Amino acid sequence: MLTVTDLKKRYDDARAVSSVSVTLQPGELAVLVGRSGAGKTTLLRCLDGLERPDRGTITLNERPLGPTDVALVFQEGALLERKSVLENVLDGGLGREPAWRELVGWHAPTAKRQAIERLHAVGLGGYADRRVGDLSGGEKQRVGIARALQQEPRVLLADEPVASLDPETGRTVLELLAEVVREESLVGLVSLHQPALARAVADRYLGLDDGRLVLDASAADVGQERILEVYDGG
Ligand SMILES: Nc1ncnc2c1ncn2[C@@H]1O[C@H](COP(=O)(O)OP(=O)(O)OP(=O)(O)O)[C@@H](O)[C@H]1O
């Protein structure tokens, strides 16, 4: 269980996240909604440790959330285009391997086996040796997901992971994210701009407006109108 208590983050004179408290359960995909500037990215960055909150605590099963607990899937995958699919996935696990391995580019055989299994799990079996730069947007995002899973996180975050994809490809990628969250019992939190896609995969909705949490409800209990209201700011 991920527990955020009274989280606050300001940038100079801008209030980005204001007194957010929320509990997220493993095996559930929560979708973060809110208009542009509502604080979604800032909340995700605080959870990933990329930003230091001004106030508040973040715990996983009652212990402070650590950097190795969390993996973040970036909008464009943040992959190295010239490297192979397998190398990109293996890079996801580097945080858990000794630094010299990174320097000489040597990965443990077990890490390679796991990376190949993960590629199969995201529907990219047989893609290991392909150059990432030659893949489609949807395939790159699948590599991004496999790379995040290689970190063996307990918490999987994604900031607008399908923004650059067409709706159908975006939906397939999101369904994959939801599936890994459920199957691996991860805490999943994804920010999305498209209400229709959000509806297709959300177990739960969190809504931000001007940094405040204005919606926290199970997807079954919240109607489309309320979600559209939060997207519009409110
Ligand atoms: N590095 C920064 N320096 C100063 N202000 C920032 C910084 N990052 C975000 N902000 C401000 O904090 C507020 C929240 O921004 P944030 O990016 O978290 O919103 P968002 O909901 O993710 O928006 P979008 O949907 O457009 O990505 C905004 O007012 C933004 O201008």
Overall number of domains in the chain:
1
**Can you give the CATH number for the domain in which 181 is found?**
3.40.50.300
Task: List pLDDT tens digits, range 92-130.
Answer: 776 666 666 666 666 778 889 999 999 998 999 999 999
Kindly give the distance from the C-alpha atom of residue 1 to the centroid of ligand 1, in angstroms, as a whole number. 27
Which residue, by CA, sits nearest to atom 30 of ligand 1?
37
**Which of 17, 18, 35, 42 for a ligand 1 pocket mutation test, highest count of atoms within 8 Å of Cβ?**
42
Q: Which residues line ligand 1 (CB under 6 A)?
A: 11-12, 14, 16, 34, 36-42
Domain carrying residue 127? 2-232
Strand ranges (E), the chain? 2-11, 14-24, 28-33, 55-60, 63-64, 70-73, 155-159, 187-191, 204-209, 212-218
Which residue, by CA, sits nearest to atom 25 of ligand 1?
36
Which residue, by CA, sits nearest to atom 24 of ligand 1?
36
Task: List pLDDT tens digits, range 150-198.
Answer: 999 999 999 999 988 888 888 998 999 999 999 999 999 999 988 889 9
